[in-house]
Chains A and B, each alone.
Chain A
Amino acid sequence: MIRHTADARAFGAGDTSHAYTSEPSRLHLETFVRDLGYPAERVDEVIFHFRRERGAMTVDDAAEHLAEWMSAVGRVHVGDERSLTPEDATASFVLSGAAMWHSDTLFADPSALPPAHRAALSAASTTVVPLESPLPMPAQDLAGPRWGRRRRTEPSVHRVSWMSSR
């Protein structure tokens, strides 16, 4: 549970559209990391990496690292040259479930990531559903026998029916 302080109020527990701040507060970073989906017991580890390895002392810095890293993953995986905004990067990271992986992952060289992880992080995979490939599914007729009328013709593998085909 987040501490009850004015800091928590001001940044709405990690609203990525508002929380980026240059204020070097550990609480902000903690909120940011939690909002990425990291379990509570790994938040400290991730903050440690942010501070020691990337020099990210603020949420701004951390978000910038995330955006750069996610953009690099996209470049390595599908050659996507776009630069992601911190907001898009955060949403993509969250939807990929990457916070369940090792906490080193976020600080690893994108080219060293397993292809499956790169695919999961790339922009195209961070939707909740895949592209549609529709198949029509008409409602069937469950009415009783239509004696004396022509039966509907349907393709079948090997039709079995006790009804006459009149």
Chain B
Amino acid sequence: MSGRHATAITFDHDASHAGAARSFVFWSTSVTTAVGTLGAWWALDTGGLNPAEIVQIALFAVCFAWIAFAFWTALVGFRRLVTRRAVSGLRGPNGSADTQAITSRVALVVPMRNEDPHAVFANIRAIGESIGRSRHPELIDFFILSDTVDPDIQVAEEVAWTELRGHLASICRVYYRRRTDNSGKKAGNLAEFCRRWGASYEYFIVLDADSLMEADTIITMTRIMELNPGVGILQAPPTSIGGRSRFARLQQFAGFAYGTVVTAGMSGWQGGDSNYWGHNAIIRTKAFARYCGLPVLSGTGPFSGEILSHDFVEAALMRRAGYEVWMLPELVGSFERLPPTLLDYAQRDRRWAAGNLQHLRLLGTAGLHPMSRLHLFMGASSYLMSPVWLLFILAGVTSALLDSAASEGPTVDPLAAVVVFVSSTVLVFAPRFLGLVAVLRDRDARRALGGAGLVILSGIFEIVVSALMAPITMVMQTLALVGILSGAKVSWGTQRRDGERPTALDLLRVHTPHAVLGLALLVTAVLIPGSAPWLAAMIVSLLAAPLLTAWTSGTDPESSVMSRLIRVPDEVAPPRVVVRADELVAVRPTPVTDGLRRVLTDGRAHSVHLAVLATASSAPPTVPERIARLVDDGAWASISVEDRAVALASPEFLRAHRRSVVRPVRTATTVLAPVHG
């Protein structure tokens, strides 16, 4: 796994294994689910079925199908990784010289909104410098597509852009566009790029604010698109990197060891009917513009309005138009960063849940490929499984209470129950086991991670922690869904930096529902001792939720035992683009704390800001007189963020007040405000 190179992929256009793998996964999942459900029926039917048990069996079937599906997908992925079979169904470059023979123009587009400009521009510069080492940097342009509304961040972005443009001047062009109308969110931002500049670029690659890609990967993807005119989207699954908190490192390890197997499996049976994850993917511009424009969904409520998770829908529309959508896990050199804590993860998860839930409305859209409908359904299901699992537990508790009240002897076949439980556990953890085996088989990866012993220990450790965290995320996702459907606002606190722990108040507020459910299950276990063994792990997890969140938010010193566990190869030998991005991020510039003051007192910020405003489509606002007075008086601290935004949107105001930043002389000894913020 380490040392792999994007240009080292082998292709076999004429072979196609996706159909057989698809049938295998479908039938295996169906049979496994049927057998598992019959087993559950057998276990519960000892003394006849009460209504709660019938519901329990139905919910069990849904949950069991879900884990069986993941298991068989992982098995397909494991086989693909082990056999190192060529990518079937696609034409690929014939050697590295052919890879470098690209002739198409590519735009690397970076939609951003109120992000930390320093970190984002550091990533872009690292990618740009990587492109500078390739053969055709002149074919690649960067577009920073800002939807930022915070006036201070706007100015920081503009200043950072001039610096980036200077640094990459001898490599490629870097453009900066800011929308004044943020309609359509990220999808609208990308659509605006296509509408204005799409005809200049055969392909565009979407990068998130935290995305990183090696030039080799970008060039290889471009060449694959050139060789396969029927491909509309090619996704390079991003590897998670750069995590410092225990939570991020655990996720990173899980992504490396198990995610690789599952992604390889999905790619194996989906073939050209794969999905798109919204970033680190190359897109055929003309086809995207022609077929993937998103409408606003009519009505009100969670299933209407702008499409929130645009990626799945765009992939479905691309497929509807006849273009293939591919995901190639073999494309290494594609990276992303992870949220540092469980609470930040939950915050992001909530946004994704809202978007994926909306997809349920689109399941009946005319003309979609059945696989696209499956992607939309699976996306929503990945969140719906949490309430299904919770209801399954509640149905089990109710059924136990009913049986205990009836007290007519044993109502559950203990042997059958144990067999079902063990089978479920095997299905849940088998993908992790397969992932570990795949890592252990890779000599380079095994050595990089400190040997087989450390890999196995890391695997066991991750399994224990993830098993403890599963009930916590189940409750969080259920609450998020309830919030989305009821319109209630759910917050997991402010966003944290890596290594920054959540406050005690945040932990208490977020984990109260976990504690309540944990206590309720504890009472059940006390009242019905027979249920205690089944509920013990969940009770421990739910009651320990605040401690677990706090502990996973922490970091470990490099010399500690923990830092030697759950390592990934990219942590031991970081890719060049990641090292460079980290170096650039470490040099913090003076932050822009007051954008208006900076624009009125700094010639560079002033020039750039006016140039950016010159490209705005909307009419400038009228700046109220009171803002002018505050500016004239140098009372910067009294100007609100909203007022700063209004003033910064008016070129006329900015030109007129360019020199009014300094407090007028009142006495000969007046102490003047510094003119540089």
* Residues A134 and B199 in contact, CB atoms below 8 Å apart: yes
Q: Is the CB of A151 within 8 A of B322?
A: no
Indicate if B436 sits at the interface (CB-CB under 8 A): no
Number of B interface residues in the complex (CB < 8 A): 79
The interface-forming segment of B363-371, B411-419, B467-475, B558-566 is: B363-371
Closest residue on chain A to residue B177 by CB atoms: A129
CB 8 Å contact bits of B566-594 with A (1 = contact, 0 = none):
00000000000000000000000000000
**Nearest CB of B to A61, in Å:** 17
Q: Does A137 contact B (CB under 8 A)?
A: yes
A interface majority secondary structure: loop
Complex CA–CA separation, A91 to B603 (angstroms): 9
Taking the closest CB of chain B, its distance from the CB of A57, in whole angstroms, is 20
Residue contact A98 to B169, C-beta cutoff 8 Å = yes
Report if A117 contacts B (CB, 8 A). Answer: yes
Structural contact, A163 and B163, CB atoms closer than 8 A: no
Q: A15-B606, A114-B170 are in contact. Are A95 and B676 (CB under 8 A)?
A: no
Residue interface mask B294-321, A partner, CB < 8 A = 1: 1111000000000000000100010111
Q: Is A136 an interface residue (CB 8 A)?
A: yes
**B364 and A144 contacting across the interface, CB-CB below 8 Å:** yes
Q: Using known A-B contacts A37-B162, A142-B362, determine if residue A157 contacts B230 with beta carbons closer than 8 Å.
A: yes
Q: Is B453 an interface residue (CB 8 A)?
A: no
The CA-CA distance from A8 to B672 in the complex, in Å, is 9
Report Cα–Cα, A133/B33, bound state, in Å: 53
Task: Return chain A residues, CB-CB under 8 Å to B295.
Answer: 139-142
Nearest CB of A to B459, in Å: 40
B601 at the interface (CB under 8 A from A): yes
Task: Tell me whether A129 and B176 are in contact (CB under 8 A).
Answer: yes
Q: Is the CB of B173 within 8 A of A96?
A: no
List B contacts of A96 (CB < 8 A). Answer: 162, 165-166, 169
Chain A, 83-128, CB within 8 A of any chain B CB = 90-91, 94-101, 114, 116-117, 120, 125, 127-128
Chain B positions 176 through 198: 1 when the CB is less than 8 Å from some CB of chain A, otherwise 0: 11000000000000010011111
Given contacts A128-B615, A130-B173, contact A15 B603 (CB under 8 A): yes
Across the interface, do B603 and A161 meet the contact criterion of CB distance under 8 Å?
no
Report how far A101 CA is from B166 CA in the complex, Å.
7
How far apart are the CA atoms of A24 and B173 in the complex, in Å?
38
> By the criterion CB–CB under 8 Å, are A4 and B175 in contact?
no
B615 touches A129 (CB 8 A): yes
Quick one: given A13-B602, A97-B163, A98-B166, are A134 and B198 in contact (CB under 8 Å)?
A: yes
- Does residue B164 face the partner (Cβ distance < 8 Å to A)? yes
Q: Are A117 and B170 in contact (CB under 8 A)?
A: yes
What number of residue pairs across chains A and B have CB atoms under 8 A from each other? Answer: 222
Known contacts A4-B674, A36-B604, A134-B196: A12-B659 contact under CB 8 Å: yes
A166 on the interface (CB 8 Å rule)?
A: no
Q: Which of B167, B177, B293 contacts A139 (CB 8 A)?
A: B293
Q: Which residues of chain A are near B196, meaning CB under 8 Å?
A: 129, 132-134
Contacting residue for A161 out of B230, B296, B367, B606, CB 8 A: B367
Shortest C-beta distance, A17 to chain B (Å), equals 7
A34 within 8 A of B: yes
Interchain CB contact (< 8 A) of A142 among B365, B602, B606? B365
Residue of A nearest to B273 (CB): A160
Closest to B677 in A: A1
Q: Flag if A13 contacts B603 (CB, 8 Å).
A: yes
B610 proximity list for chain A (CB < 8 A): 91
Does B555 sit within 8 A of A, measured CB to CB?
Answer: no
Given A134-B199, A163-B367, check contact A4 B672 (CB 8 Å): yes
- Give chain A interface residues in 7-47, CB to chain B under 8 Å: 8-9, 11-19, 31-32, 34-37
Cα of A146 to Cα of B196 in the assembled complex, Å: 33
Complex Cα–Cα for A135 and B288 (A): 10
Interface string of A60-88 (1 = CB under 8 A from B): 00000000000000000000000000000
Which residue of chain B has its CB nearest to the CB of A121?
Answer: B169
Distance in angstroms between the alpha carbons of A32 and B317 in the assembled complex: 53
Q: Which of A9, A34, A36, A95 meets B665, CB within 8 Å?
A: A9
Residue of A nearest to B658 (CB): A15
A-B CB contact pairs (8 Å), 7 listed: A2-B676, A9-B672, A9-B675, A16-B607, A35-B603, A90-B607, A97-B167
